[in-house]
Chains A and B, each alone.
Chain A
Amino acid sequence: MKVTGAQALMKCLKEQNVEVIFGFPGGAVIDIYDEIMRTEDLTHVLVRHEQAAVHAADAYARVKGDVGVALVTSGPGATNTVTGIASAYLDSIPIVVFTGQVPTALIGNDAFQEVDIVGITRPCTKHNYLVKDPKDLIPTIREAFHIARTGRPGPVLIDLPKDVVAAMVEYNEPQPVKMRTYRPTYEPHPGQIEKACKAILKAKKPVFYIGGGVILSNANEELTELSRKLSIPVTMTLMGLGGFPGTDPLSMGMLGMHGTYYANMAVAHSDLLIAVGARFDDRVTGRIDAFAPGAKIIHIDIDPTSISKNVTVDIPIVADCKHAVAAMNSWFNRSKDFDRGAVAEMHAPWLEMIKEWKDKHPLGYAEEKDVIKPQFVVQKLHELTQGNALITTEVGQNQMWAAQFYHFNKPRSFMTSGGLGVMGYGFPAAIGAQMAAPDRTVIDIAGDGSIQMNIQELATARQYHCPVKIAILNNNYLGMVRQWQELFYDKRYSNTTLDTAPDFVLLAQAYGAVGLRATKPSEVEPVIKEALATDNVVIMDFVISREEGVYPMVPAGKATTEMLLV
């Protein structure tokens, strides 16, 4: 069947079960937009800035557990997606980004709105394509979705010259994608699984250190089973939050720079560290030679490059986390050497030691009577949503307080720009999350600085009836940088004071949204309740204690045991 390139694109989206795309039109993609208008069962969300389209697609992918899609025009439309693509790349989020391109005959001519987006995004995509021949269009799209969602997921970009989408192409029914060069390893090596399980049986002070890979591979149930079976405590990276129930007695919360005292102490004193879908990022390890110095390390990851990149691993397992953890569960279920009661008894002193650390320095903050503490706001959000909201964050203190105090019990409920640390991620991500889960409560925990980076999306949220809630922890500062300046730069607050700020309540109203403000602790709960009961976009402006810091904190380059505490 002959169809136009644009029609072929619509058909391919349907093949991939794409129901929602986020985008912004322009000259090079008019043909595609013309076709979108005629395509039923595809919702196009018109964002107000292309960066937001990619963040929204990113969060949509995380909530759905499938591929998110963005569509933008050539030139500036394409360059505006770079931050979103780089963020998805570092967080291994499956998205496909379609960019328009000038007609093939003009490529390389410095034509109007021409940019080499394939060249620009080469280092921050899992793979990318420029489709020069219309007959390659359909196979390329199918391959792109395959690459994005398999193996270690990631963003894939397809650059579409205007004449290619206007050309007639032959549409064939989809075949399974076969690639000569790309075959991710899903199944673990049984020998390595056995080695790992035997090491676990010997360990007296084991710790699970889990990351985003657990969530991406939906390994949370298998991991919870394994942890409980073996009485092994679990700590999570920022990306791993929700991969293990945050309120479980075995949970130690987050580790690393702003991790809990007890998680960092446990890792430092462990004799076996079992890393699952995590990548030993510098924000997790601190000074690398002081990270888990006495531990043997087991590392499960689908990406071989993650293994032994930052620390030398004793037992590497290249596999999908879900498959590998399931294989470990069944090894223990079969093993004659494994006695659940005996192992629990062996680990009891270790769990007791961790409990002592926890009692000594629990996660907390100094309460004040008249000033709103940001941690209190997050705790209240948790309480009033029963921990069931989808939470997105911006980047900085707001992100860390959200990570510390909203105890995520389920995967795919925390969307944050972990690797790249994008201010401006949270609000468009909230829109993406709401489009993926229209019935859920979605809250963007934001700062007054970062919310302004994509504040224009208020219009998008309104237009598509996404009743997302924005909780601004407003301290009139770029708080995280200010905290560093306070601690390490003798309080020289260079350019971190936001002297001129909008009135966020009026700003919300200007977009037809609802604005609420709390200036006293007693107003926090009523404001949240009112926001949750409002079927509209709501900005909650919480005026918080200005110079509140995020603690514990491991100063950059220090060992994770050298924490600054509250």
Chain B
Amino acid sequence: MKHTISVLLQNKPGVLSRVTGLFSGRGYNIESLAVNRTLDPEVSCLTLVSDGDDGIIEQITKQLHKLIDVIKVTDMAETDFVEREMALIRVKAEAGTRAEVLRIIDIFRGKVVDVSPRTYAIEVTGDEDKIQAIIDILKPIGIQEIVRTGTIAMARAKKN
């Protein structure tokens, strides 16, 4: 089962390779990865998506926690959370399809971020399923290039 794991770590050189080295060295899988600073410039937040049974995910979280530079590890599956990724997609938009492409972008609440006589580059955000859905729809029209970020995730605030 897929798990989204959020890791707070010291913002120091080499920390990312400690994390990725742990995954490659122990044969764990990284499906996606996103890292950036938090409000505290000395702390980074890393979100990764991995796949494995409960035993493997438990080992992953424990092993991550064992790294000296890691402050906190949260397996998002243990809480209610929102997750997003973003994709930039350059799709063919020629005379016959330009209007249809715009309609699709609108349905997915995407934005056109670059225009050329024969293409649109669009920005779309959402969970992995939504990004996959727009890709599937646009594919027959002609996707020229695609760039996707890793997933980022945040636990939902307690309701009471």
User: Which A residues fall within an 8 A CB radius of B?
Assistant: 118-119, 122-123, 126-127, 130, 147, 179-182, 303-305, 308-309, 312
Contact = CB atoms under 8 A, between A and B. Distances in A.
Interface residues of B, number: 20
Contacts of B63: 305
B142 interface: no
A84 B65 CA distance: 25
B65 A304 contact: yes
A303 B63 CA distance: 10
B108 to A, nearest CB: 40
Nearest to B71: A181
B62 A181 contact: no
B25 to A, nearest CB: 5
B10 interface: yes
B68 A127 contact: yes
B74 to A, nearest CB: 15
Contacts of B10: 180-181
Given A181-B10, A305-B62, A308-B58, A119 B17 contact: yes
Contacts of B65: 304
B96 interface: no
Query: Which among B10, B62, B65, B70 has the greatest number of chain A C-beta atoms within 10 A?
Result: B62
Nearest to A129: B14
Contacts of B66: 303-305
Contact of B21 (A123, A180, A303): A123
A228 B59 CA distance: 35
Given A147-B68, A181-B70, A305 B21 contact: no
B41 to A, nearest CB: 14
A308 B14 contact: no
A179 B69 CA distance: 10
Contacts of B140: none
A122 B18 contact: yes
Nearest to B68: A127
Interface of B: 9-10, 13-14, 17-18, 21-22, 25, 55, 58-59, 62-63, 65-66, 68-71
Contact of B25 (A123, A127, A304, A312): A123
A119 B13 CA distance: 11
Given A147-B68, A181-B69, A303-B66, A308 B55 contact: yes
Nearest to A309: B59
Contacts of A309: 59
A305 B56 CA distance: 11
Query: Ordered nearest first, which 7 A-B pairs have the shortest CB separation?
Result: A127-B68, A305-B62, A123-B25, A181-B71, A304-B62, A182-B68, A305-B63
Contacts of A308: 55, 58
Given A123-B25, A126-B68, A309-B59, 18 more contacts: A122-B14, A122-B21, A123-B21, A123-B22, A130-B14, A147-B68, A180-B10, A181-B10, A181-B69, A181-B70, A182-B68, A304-B62, A305-B59, A305-B62, A305-B63, A305-B66, A308-B55, A308-B58
Contacts of B70: 181
A375 B71 CA distance: 51
Nearest to B70: A181
A147 B55 CA distance: 27
A182 B62 CA distance: 13
A312 B13 CA distance: 36
Nearest to A119: B17
A180 B70 CA distance: 9
Contacts of A127: 68
A274 to B, nearest CB: 21
A118 B14 contact: yes
A309 B28 CA distance: 14
Contacts of B22: 123
Contacts of A181: 9-10, 68-71
A156 to B, nearest CB: 9
Contacts of A122: 14, 17-18, 21
Contacts of B13: 130
A179 B67 CA distance: 13
B137 to A, nearest CB: 43
Contacts of B62: 304-305
A182 B72 CA distance: 11
A531 B111 CA distance: 85
With most chain A CB atoms within 10 A of its CB, the pick from B18, B59, B68, B69 is B68
A394 to B, nearest CB: 27
Contacts of A123: 21-22, 25
Contacts of A303: 66
Nearest to B25: A123
A180 B14 CA distance: 18
A45 B65 CA distance: 37
Nearest to B58: A308
Nearest to B14: A118
Contacts of A130: 13-14
Contacts of B59: 305, 309
